Amino acid sequence: MRSLLKLLPYMKPYRSRYAFGLFLVLIGVMLAVISPLVIKAAIDGLQKGDLARPIFHFSLALLLIGLARGVLMFKGRFTLIAASRSIEYDIRSALYRKLLSLPPSFFDRSATGDLESRVINDVEGIRMVCGIAIMLSLSSGLMTVLSLVAMFSIDATLASLSIVPLGLISLFTSLLTKRIYQESEIVQKRLAEMTTVAQENFTGVRVVRAFVQEETEVDKFRAAARAYVNANLKLSLTRGATWGMMTLLIEAGVGVVLLVGGLGILNGRLTLGEFTAFTAYQFMLSWPVIAMGWVITLIQRGAACIDRISLILEEPEEEVLGSASRNTPPKKGEIVIKNLTFRYTKDRLPALKDLSLTIRAGERVAIVGRTGAGKSTLLQLLLGHYRPDNGTIFLDDHDVNDYTRRALREEIGIVPQDAFLFSDSLAANIKFGAKSEVSSDALDRAVESSRLAADLTQFPQGLEQIVGERGITLSGGQKQRTAIARAFIREPRILLLDDALASVDVHTENEILERLDEHLNGRSCLIVTHRFSIVSKVDRILVLDEGKLVEEGRHDDLVNAGGLYAQLVKRQQLEESLKLG
């Protein structure tokens, strides 16, 4: 329950709305408690034959109270609901904001579906606590107290006798709630088991078919489905018993009033009007008793949601990790790496081992090596996505970790291996890379240089074409070229191409590389590649293997050296000729 306290800061901005809404709801509850008294007065008057006013006035009073109550309840409920929706928005926004500032290592260890559920479902669970749960617990609490006061003031004996069944309801519900909870857990477990059988069947459909397992699988599923049905039926037996017990006890309360109240009228202790009002109060009391069970479930669930969300909100942010202070972006683009060692997690082999190298400002360098050599990792570290375990990366003489993430990335443009596009227009996806608002000239230039321009005729809406989820409507090459345009339009000091042209044909690749010059204009450029067709366009080649720099130099020298580079080149030629068939 301590988790609920964490909500207070979020509720605070809306405290006047809460006060107002709750005030209205509570007045509404009071009015509800008053109306049986009108009926009581009418009946007593009718019975004694000394009705002070025409019966019409009583009806009118009833109607007016009802009307006032209606208006108050509506306004009150709505105020509270709106407040809870606003809090929902605030928390969801805060959570999203937080997520955007967390380091990649956080996302490496969290499932996307899970995070989504936090932002969508858990925040909704919290909203239920802030809205309906608060409203119901206060209003039904007040209703209980006021009805009891009214009942006891009419006839204490009758009141004490008639609330016995209601007390029993609370007792039974609290007992049965636990059992229902346990049985629901079993139902959930059986459901999960059944789902697993089905999921494995669908995933392993080829094995099922190849080994003619269709019937065995249906039998397996039938057994799981039957276990699920049985668990459900057991639960519904308990639920049915609870339900029946509640009905029984509520009606038994009416029976007590009928007997004891009837006897009270007989010996003159009670008037008929009081008797009638009493039944009305009893009716009112049964409702909070039922509602309370629901409210408790809501609050328990909400508390769990708060705990899960707090875990995210308490995660250390990217920026804080670096405790960086340097606000000015690197302006030259010189990279010096000294004894760099890095592993993604402690239990894995180092991706980079004691790596040292220098890239001069304005230099164009290709990085090659086998899969897993650490090429992409190096770029990730340059971008400050991860922090090295040992050693330092200097950018313009300053440790990368001394820059704020913002300043560091301001002057870096990356084209990742797997270009990520948003389901938005091509233009928006390209402008995504720009540091500030850009002119349509700059946009056109980027589109032209990335050789995307030629493809535009394919799209009816040109640059305004929506690319679909993750760019699904584009070819692999088009996606990569969009990502290249995105990096070009940024005009960064340092351009990183992470095997960014793999899906682009060799001819287009050359065209793009030729246009690099216009965009580079003295900027540094690191090209991670598996293709050796581009090597003539770089100043220097770095060969990485198992996280270490093993060779560097120009293409011809490296081929002549007959080392790893020469091997890789030979292998690729073989592969190319094989592909051509």
Partner 1 sequence: MSTIQEEEELIEKPYDWGLFKRFLGYMHPHRPVVLILVLVMLAGITIDLAAPFLIRMAIDGPVAAKDVDGLKRLAGFFFILVLLSGTLKAAQHYISNLAGQRILFDLRIQVFARLQHLPISYYDKTPVGRLLTRVTGDVENLAELFTSGLVGMLGNLLSLVLIVIAMIIIDPTMTLLTMAVMPLAILMTIQFRLHARKTYRAARRSIAAVTAYLNECLSGIKTIQAFNRQESCMQRFDEGAALYRTRSIHAGYIYSFFWPGIELITTMAVALVLWQGGNGILAKTTTFGSFIAFWYLVRKFFEPIQELAEKYNILQAAMASAERIFEILDAPTSPAPEKPDAPPEARGAIEFQNVSFSYDGNTPVLKNVSFTVKPGETVALVGYTGAGKTSVLSLLLRLYELQEGRILVDGVDVRDWDPRTLRKRFGMVFQDVFLFSGTVEENVRLGRTLTREHLDSAAKLVNADRVLNRLPERWSHQLQERGASISSGERQLLSFARALAGEPSVLILDEATANIDAETEGLIQDALERILVERTSIVVAHRLSTVRKADKILMFHKGELREEGSHEELVAQQGLYEKLHRLQFPNGKN
Q: Which stretch binds partner 1 (CB under 8 A): 10-18, 84-92, 519-527, 536-544?
A: 84-92
From candidates 16, 325, 457, 577, binder to partner 1 by CB under 8 A = 577
What distance in Å separates the CA atoms of residue 563 and residue 542, rounded to the nearest whole number?
13
From candidates 19, 93, 153, 290, binder to partner 1 by CB under 8 A = 93
Q: Is 58 helix (H, G, I), strand (E, B) or coil?
A: helix
Is position 410 an interface residue for partner 1 (rule: CB under 8 A)?
yes
Euclidean distance between the first and the last CA atom of the chain, given in angstroms as a whole number: 70
Residues 6+ away with beta carbon under 8 Å from 134:
18, 22, 80
From candidates 389, 505, 514, 575, binder to partner 1 by CB under 8 A = 575
From candidates 4, 27, 34, 99, binder to partner 1 by CB under 8 A = 99
Q: Which stretch binds partner 1 (CB under 8 A): 6-14, 246-254, 473-481, 534-542?
A: 246-254
Residues making up the chain, counted from first to last: 581
Question: CB-wise, 182 or 339, nearer to partner 1?
Answer: 182
Q: Which stretch binds partner 1 (CB under 8 A): 11-19, 81-89, 448-456, 524-532?
A: 81-89
CB of 433 to partner 1, least distance (A): 5
CB of 86 to partner 1, least distance (A): 7
Question: CB-wise, 196 or 339, nearer to partner 1?
Answer: 196
Positive or negative, the CA dihedral 154, 158, 161, 164 is negative
Q: Are 143 and 288 in contact (CB under 8 A)?
A: yes
Of 377, 537, 372, 511, the closest CA to residue 452 belongs to: 511
Positive or negative, the CA dihedral 516, 517, 523, 527 is positive
Binding to partner 1, residues 285-344 (CB under 8 A): 318
Binding to partner 1, residues 103-142 (CB under 8 A): 104, 107, 112, 115-116, 119-120
Is position 221 an interface residue for partner 1 (rule: CB under 8 A)?
yes
Q: Is 179 helix (H, G, I), strand (E, B) or coil?
A: helix
Is position 472 an interface residue for partner 1 (rule: CB under 8 A)?
no
| Number of CB atoms found within 10 A of residue 533's CB | 15
Binding to partner 1, residues 44-63 (CB under 8 A): 46-47, 51, 55-56, 58-60, 62-63
Phi and psi, residue 221, nearest 5°: -65, -40
Q: Which stretch binds partner 1 (CB under 8 A): 39-47, 333-341, 446-454, 532-540?
A: 39-47
| Number of CB atoms found within 10 A of residue 417's CB | 15
- Per-residue binder mask for partner 1 (CB under 8 A), 381-400, x = binder: --x-x---------------
Question: CB-wise, 15 or 222, nearer to partner 1?
Answer: 222
Residues 6+ away with beta carbon under 8 Å from 124:
88
Q: Are 112 and 99 in contact (CB under 8 A)?
A: no
Q: Are 415 and 479 in contact (CB under 8 A)?
A: no
Residues 6+ away with beta carbon under 8 Å from 236:
none
From candidates 185, 307, 469, 539, binder to partner 1 by CB under 8 A = 469
CB of 107 to partner 1, least distance (A): 6
| Number of CB atoms found within 10 A of residue 39's CB | 16
Question: CB-wise, 145 or 192, nearer to partner 1?
Answer: 192
Binding to partner 1, residues 422-441 (CB under 8 A): 422-425, 428, 432-433, 435
Is position 77 an interface residue for partner 1 (rule: CB under 8 A)?
yes
What distance in Å separates the CA atoms of residue 527 and residue 544, rounded to the nearest whole number?
13
CB of 474 to partner 1, least distance (A): 15
From candidates 23, 30, 48, 70, binder to partner 1 by CB under 8 A = 70
CB of 253 to partner 1, least distance (A): 9
Interface with partner 1: number of residues (CB under 8 A): 135
Q: Is 375 helix (H, G, I), strand (E, B) or coil?
A: helix
What are 156's two structure tokens? 């204490």
What are 551's two structure tokens? 């060779």
